[in-house]
């Protein structure tokens, strides 16, 4: 069956992406529209539309994508610091309906976010 959202298409190799990491639970690839010198998206293989859709059964995969983010930050030279972002729903700035963790680094970030 063909995937219904763009990130599922990347998981299923229906469209290409610059994949930097994958395992049985998740996939990480470079964002197509980078907002920093390093901008990687880490996504669970499981179809979870938004952060608000998480259930208790998803606690392990949520922890796992953060662990992968920490390891990728080291590998990608972000020792000075980095930012992790999960946008939730339209008001939270989410545009792709598949949970994803943004790993951004390589520049200084401001606060509050836009």
Token pair of 20 as six digits: 């930097």
30 vs 64 by CB, closer to ligand DGP: 30
Distance in angstroms (rounded) separating the CA atoms of residues 28 and 68: 9
In three-state secondary structure terms, 37 is coil
> CB-wise, 57 or 91, nearer to ligand DGP?
91
Site membership for ligand DGP, residue 50 (CB under 6 A): no
| Structural tokens at position 58 | 């998803």
56 within 8 A of 78, measured Cβ to Cβ: no
Query: Cα 15 to the chain's mean position, in Å?
Result: 17
> Of the ranges 27-35, 42-50, 57-65, 73-81, which one interacts with ligand DGP (CB under 6 A)?
27-35
Which of 4, 13, 32, 90 is in the footprint of ligand DGP by CB under 6 A?
32
Binding residues for ligand DGP (CB under 6 A): 6, 17, 29-33, 41, 87, 93-96
């Amino acid at each position: 069956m063909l995937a219904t959202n763009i990130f599922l298409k990347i998981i299923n190799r229906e469209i290409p992406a610059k994949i930097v990491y994958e395992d049985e639970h998740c996939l990480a690839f470079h964002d197509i529209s980078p907002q920093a010198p390093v901008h990687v998206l880490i996504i669970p293989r499981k179809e979870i539309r938004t952060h608000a859709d998480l259930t208790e059964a998803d606690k392990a995969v949520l922890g796992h994508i953060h662990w992968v983010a920490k390891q990728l930050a080291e590998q990608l030279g972000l020792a000075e610091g980095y930012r992790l972002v999960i946008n939730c729903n339209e008001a939270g700035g989410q545009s792709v309906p598949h949970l994803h963790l943004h790993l951004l680094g390589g520049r200084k970030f401001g606060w509050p976010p836009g």
